[in-house]
Structure 1
Amino acid sequence: MEKPLTKVLVVDDDPALRQLLADYLNRHHYDTLLAPDSRDLEMRIERYAPDLIVLDRMLPHGDGADACRRLRQQGEDIPVILLTGKDETVDRIIGLEAGADDYLGKPFDPRELLARIEAVLRRKKGASALVKEQAVEFGPFRFDPVLRQLFKGETAIKLTGGEVNLLEALIRNPGKPLSRERLLALARDDDEGERNDRAIDIAVLRLRRAIEDDPKQPRWIQTVWGIGYRFSP
């Protein structure tokens, strides 16, 4: 099975620029999603689970820097490259203070945007690798991300690859409600074929049976009605 394409969400009110970037990034093997403004940005993130967001600062119905700041306040760590109309120091500072990972002043060459996207994704991957090397303990359990193994005391608990991915996605986002769509993206396991919402529910049920004293009244993996699930350490 082919590796899924990296998904980039481009948010800009200029339809010509949106299409230009979509065509260019698609040619370079990115799956590009387009939006005209920052309204419903959280919904788009939950639905499409992009790997990176290219976000214009000057948008109708809200400033892009404010939208980025809201995402960070909500605990969302998707990389953001902020597009600014002016390549001035004050705009760069505003963007970085809002939590953007990089910035690019308009007008720009699409090749430079592509280079910045790839650089940000490399930094993100490197930071994630450092975090994932650290074991996570909760109650009597210890999850070792290097071994990809869950232990209870010294006893290893048998889990499928998809269940390990799901557990890691949950424990790496403690206290944060994750939708089924987001969990589908984070827990994707190419060896297990197509997954859907029902597959996530079944995987959660299996995890609960493995780690909960009473799976019907879960302590660790809780249901967030209307959204999905969260890990409660």
Structure 2
Amino acid sequence: MLISPSHILLTGASSGIGRALAIALAAQGHKLSLCGRDPAKLAQTLALLPQDAMVFSQHFSVTKPAAIHQFCQQAKQQWGDVDVLINCAGGNSSRSAATEPDWSAIEQMMQLNFYAPLHFIQKLVPAMKEQGKGVVLNVLSTVCLFSNPGISAYSASKAALDSYSKVLRKELNGTGVKVLSVYPGGVDTEFRAASRPDYLSAEEVADAVLLMLASSAKAHIHELVLRPAVETNFC
């Protein structure tokens, strides 16, 4: 069970699932360290939180390792060691066919969807191991589980983090540190070009994440797949 107030560091808090998580976690009384790339959107998130919310925030691109390092240091100075890391920041900047790779977009997505979460893990997990408790929760995607044409680069970047998470989970087994993965299907957020009200809402995904975090210390919801009822891209 996640004890309040825990120190939760959340990436991608500017919009979508990250914003919904920030609102839900603030309502539970946790100490939050929030980051997002867009200062205006991050300010909108902060405006939606309770006035007495315990929040430290910075806007920067998580593709910059030095900025990640600084943010983690300042978050620790503000609230102490991080109890829960939620890697939620992500994006898809290419629809190129797999036979025609867009190299610049692939590199950008690897930086955002794969390398950035690893930098946060490298910075924060050692202290969790010392404490004998902690959670790393990665927001992945059902693209890790089902192949769809036109999103090869995005799928590869998310699958890289998925594979890394599985190994990390085994390596941290017995340390008290949980490694959890949630795989949302279609979500109706700004991430999507056209509105899809029949898809999941960001709040529904946030509720699933809260369920994973609420499990007891000995119960690990390692992997949770969440799809809208209209989605059929599963075996």
With the shorter chain as reference, the TM-score category is: 0.3 to 0.5
Greater strand fraction, Structure 1 or Structure 2: 1
| TM-score w.r.t. length of structure 1 | 0.41
Larger radius of gyration: 1
